Homo-oligomer: A and B are copies of this chain.
Amino acid sequence: MPTPYDPGAYRPPALAGGASGPSHLRPLIDTVLGALAQGAAARGGPIPHGGPQAVAARLRALAAPVLPTGGTGAQEALHTLVRAVTEGSADPADPYCVAHLHCPPLALAVAADLAVSALNPSMDSWDQAPAASTLEAETTAALAALVYPDLPQPDCLVTTGGSESNQLGLLLARERARAAGSPGVHIVCGANAHHSIHRAAWLLGLPEPRTLPTPDGTLHPATVERALAELHGPALVIATAGTTDSGAIDPLPGIAEVTTAHGAELHIDASYGGPLLFSRRHRARLTGLQSATSVALDLHKLGWQPIAAGLLAVPDATALRPLAIRADYLNADDDTKAGLPDLLGRSLRTTRRADILKIAVTLRALGRDGLAQLVDDVCQQAQQLANLIEAHPGLTLYARPTITTVLFRPSHLTDSELATSRLALMTSGSAVLGRAHAADRLWLKATLLNPTIGPADFTALLDLVAHTGRETRTGRPPSNGQEPSTGQDPPGGNTPRTGQ
């Protein structure tokens, strides 16, 4: 790129928009697809081997300098950085990458997301997102009706994820309390609630939530009732439909009943379990959801969307009024009177990406039945995995899975050995498993969100886990960031895998 400013010679880099945008994008996207394929092949597994220090060193060497004086050009930069980040990625499409509520996105949703980046609608005023704002209104209305099927005008906001949805749920409750003359609202949650509940209370200047014991992993209505009986003033009870640790669903109808009886409100964090609503087979497990004053949902978990695809549903559009704000450059009175929809009250963000398009494409392409089938599949996988664990001589199952999370452990390991074994699997690049405490022990966690894998993958994964557990127990435990010194490849490294 020439250094002296010379408008005659200089040609700015191509834009993604306009009629010629697609032709500018095509060769660049070819490079990206090539780099994705090369990086995945070079990785050859669920996560790069070597652990944090080694992976960071490789990335730094490839990516330096991150802000050169002169540029390397679009093709070089795309190839180098996309390939490096791909090789260094944890791939949730790999059958051995099952740690988190981190789903492998559908190709069709990712393709739709490309259009979002190219069109770049900004969802804070109509004249930055004319059609996208209508698509959002239509799609969120349909999703809100899934949660509140019997109400005339439920509504739903698009968020960055469950954490923001929870934050908005608490904020709306705080504002209702203030409007009723209280300085704030008591937050009452179980020990099983997501940390974002506590973080939201802190952010909003509310007192620390009253956190109730959940010894079996769920919040009992009787526990909630005792807590509410001791409180004075407005209270918001938090129930969870799908905990992060075990996928447990709190008894929603019972909690709704005691909450109503005490004049309190109910926010349900269904960030994980919400998409059970698509399934005829499983939706009854969310009975009680429609009693909530707000519901957090998240389609980048059990909804196969690329991040971000969070939602907050409310029983009536008027519940969102506290978010209203006026900014003359975006929603001046005369513009709103002229029929321009006021979008600022749909988020605390101003500029906002049109995450709705990938969601809308997925709903249309798969339909409710197609999404139900995916949900049913991964729920059934979890039962299959639990069966295999129960039948495995070296493994112990914590409990039958509720949604798609399976807690288990190699028998006879201490908690510390279990943690070491999990790190060894990750550091060697063999498998990515989560961790959770339950019943005073540490467990390995498999969160199943990949509809393309099957029993053969599970058998190989379990053998690998059992083997690594034995090595951890008998061999020298692997130290920080080093490969485990087993002197041999872990089994399963060359096992054919059905995942994509």
Q: Is the CB of A122 within 8 A of B110?
A: no
Q: Is the CB of B118 within 8 A of A110?
A: yes
For A110, list chain B residues within 8 Å (CB).
16, 25, 28, 114, 117-118
Query: Can you report 22 A-B residue pairs in the complex whose CB atoms are below 8 A from each other?
Result: A5-B376, A12-B377, A12-B452, A16-B110, A17-B91, A18-B93, A59-B131, A77-B365, A78-B108, A78-B111, A81-B112, A88-B131, A90-B130, A91-B119, A100-B125, A100-B128, A110-B114, A113-B114, A308-B351, A329-B436, A334-B416, A339-B480
Q: Is the CB of A12 within 8 A of B78?
A: no
Question: Shortest Cβ distance from A1 into chain B, in angstroms?
Answer: 5
Q: Is the CB of B25 within 8 A of A111?
A: yes
A72 within 8 A of B: yes
Q: Is the CB of A348 within 8 A of B163?
A: yes
Bound complex: CA of A141 vs CA of B64, how far in Å?
Answer: 12
Q: Is the CB of A112 within 8 A of B82?
A: yes
Q: Is the CB of A32 within 8 A of B348?
A: no
Contact with B along A56-100 (1 / 0, CB 8 A): 101110011111111111101110111011111111111000011
A190 within 8 A of B: no
Contact with B along A12-31 (1 / 0, CB 8 A): 11111111111111101101
Bound complex: CA of A138 vs CA of B63, how far in Å?
Answer: 9
For A160, list chain B residues within 8 Å (CB).
160, 349, 351-353
Q: Which residue of B lies closest to A204 (CB)?
A: B205
Bound complex: CA of A82 vs CA of B364, how far in Å?
Answer: 12
Q: Which A residues, 304 to 357, have Cβ-Cβ distances below 8 Å to chain B?
A: 306-308, 325-329, 332, 334-335, 337-341, 348-354, 357
Question: Shortest Cβ distance from A57 into chain B, in angstroms?
Answer: 9
Q: Is the CB of A120 within 8 A of B338?
A: no
Question: Shortest Cβ distance from A412 into chain B, in angstroms?
Answer: 20
A55 within 8 A of B: yes
For A102, list chain B residues within 8 Å (CB).
120, 122, 128, 351
Q: Report the interface size for chain A: residues with CB under 8 A from the other chain.
A: 187
Bound complex: CA of A30 vs CA of B3, how far in Å?
Answer: 36
Q: Is the CB of A77 within 8 A of B108?
A: yes
A241 within 8 A of B: no
A423 within 8 A of B: yes
Q: Is the CB of B107 within 8 A of A74?
A: yes
Q: Is the CB of B367 within 8 A of A70?
A: yes
For A86, list chain B residues within 8 Å (CB).
115, 119
Give the residue among A3, A56, A90, A105 with the most B Cβ atoms within 10 A: A90
A283 within 8 A of B: no
Q: Is the CB of B20 within 8 A of A373?
A: no
Question: Shortest Cβ distance from A19 into chain B, in angstroms?
Answer: 4
Q: Is the CB of B128 within 8 A of A15?
A: no
A129 within 8 A of B: yes
Question: Shortest Cβ distance from A436 into chain B, in angstroms?
Answer: 6
A212 within 8 A of B: no
Q: Which residue of B lies closest to A323 (CB)?
A: B199
Q: Is the CB of B106 within 8 A of A329?
A: no
Q: Is the CB of B349 within 8 A of A161?
A: yes
A186 within 8 A of B: no
For A491, list chain B residues within 8 Å (CB).
none
Contact with B along A344-386 (1 / 0, CB 8 A): 0000111111100110111111111110011011000000000
A53 within 8 A of B: yes
For A376, list chain B residues within 8 Å (CB).
5
Question: Shortest Cβ distance from A470 into chain B, in angstroms?
Answer: 20
A469 within 8 A of B: no
For A423, list chain B residues within 8 Å (CB).
335, 338
